[in-house]
Amino acid sequence: MKRRSFLRRATLSTLVAGTVAPRLAQGHPAFPSFRKTDGPVILSTWAHGVEANAEAWRILEEGGSVLDAVEKGVMVTEADPKNQSVGIGGLPDRDGRVTLDASIMGPDGNCGSVVYLEHIKHPICVARKVMEDTPHVMMAGEGALALALDMGMEKENLLTEDSEKAWKKWLEKSQYKPIINIENHDTIGLLAIDDNGDIAGACTTSGLAYKMNGRVGDSPIIGSGLYVDNAVGGAVCTGLGEEVIKSVASFLAVEKMRDGASPQEACQIAIDRIMEKSPHYKDFQVGIIALNKSGEIGSYAIHPYFNYAHHTVQENVLIDSKSAL
Ligand code: SD4
């Protein structure tokens, strides 16, 4: 779909939205109007988000759904063996096992996730399968793997040479600190709004490097690593999952937007909450991005060096996030 047709459809959706907005506005006086921007907006975490955004954009251009866009977008990162925090090539746990977590949430409010999934390069597709074709929301370990195999997915060795080497080096000292350094995490979280104003989100990770076997982070936990409410917006977190979970940070950000906060304000409130709850906030990083129903975005982190990729009709750019420290 070319820019002009995006704009045309955006105009149409603005007209349609005009009939819906007053109903919402009654309950939420400060609630943002449906769309101010022209065309879709895609927002994702870290530098790898640029490529993921490009793929998600391509899917929308070809007429795919917003759910297809977020799924296919993060699959690019999952398939990249050089990325050591997502999918194939992810750093293993302390026992050398690559265990993946992922979640997805669509505009209809439905969601799915997988935790502790091994041997499958695209956990996001399994999360979608859980959402669409099972009566469940979350599946773990062997059961999730069985579902993936049932879908026709191949079992693969996800531990690349580079990641195995890094793990063996780590084993020499085996010093595990449950701290995520700002250089050491790159989960992909991706949010998209299409030109109908529909929002979806996806989040996928190999979690913390050298974690205890069985550890699960925030990324597959709906409300913590990812939350979408199609009436309001969406949010995704990256960083030390344990701290994100304690504040249910993505849900918190979306609820703040529901109450009238801008995405930027909502992100700052969520990070402030995490910092309030932990006296050790200087020792770990959490970053959050948010997108609202108007296509406006926000981002915030505890430490600097968190960045995000922002795709609009005009450009697909990497931007440094604001941070508290
Ligand atoms: C986790 N939040 O498992 C994830 C890790 C992460 O970038 O974000 N890495 O805790």
- Ligand 1: which residue has its CA nearest to atom 10? 241
Pairing of strands 111-117, 100-105: antiparallel
Residue identifier of the C-alpha nearest atom 5 of ligand 1: 207
Residue-wise pLDDT tens digits, 112-164? 999 999 999 999 999 999 999 999 999 999 999 999 999 999 999 999 999 99
Active site residue 187: yes
Confirm or reject: Cβ of 186 under 6 Å from ligand 1. Answer: yes
Residue 185 beta carbon below 6 angstroms from any ligand 1 atom: yes
Decide: 219 in ligand 1 pocket, CB within 6 A: yes
Write down the catalytic residue from 77, 187, 204, 312. 187
Ligand 1, pocket-test mutation among 100, 115, 182, 219, most atoms within 8 A of CB: 219
Separation of CA 41 and ligand 1 centre (Å):
24
Instruction: Specify the pLDDT at position 18.
Output: 32
Query: Model-level pTM?
Result: 0.89
Q: Is 208 in the pocket of ligand 1 (CB under 6 A)?
A: yes
Q: Is the CB of 206 under 6 A from ligand 1?
A: no
Distance (angstroms) between ligand 1 centre and the Cα of 297 equals: 21
Ligand 1 in contact with 204 (CB < 6 A)? no
pLDDT for 1: 43
Q: For residue 59, what pLDDT is reported? A: 98
Say what the pLDDT of residue 9 is: 36
* Per-residue pLDDT, 13: 34
Regions of the chain with pLDDT less than 70: 1-37, 176-185
Question: 25 C-alpha to center of ligand 1: Å?
Answer: 35
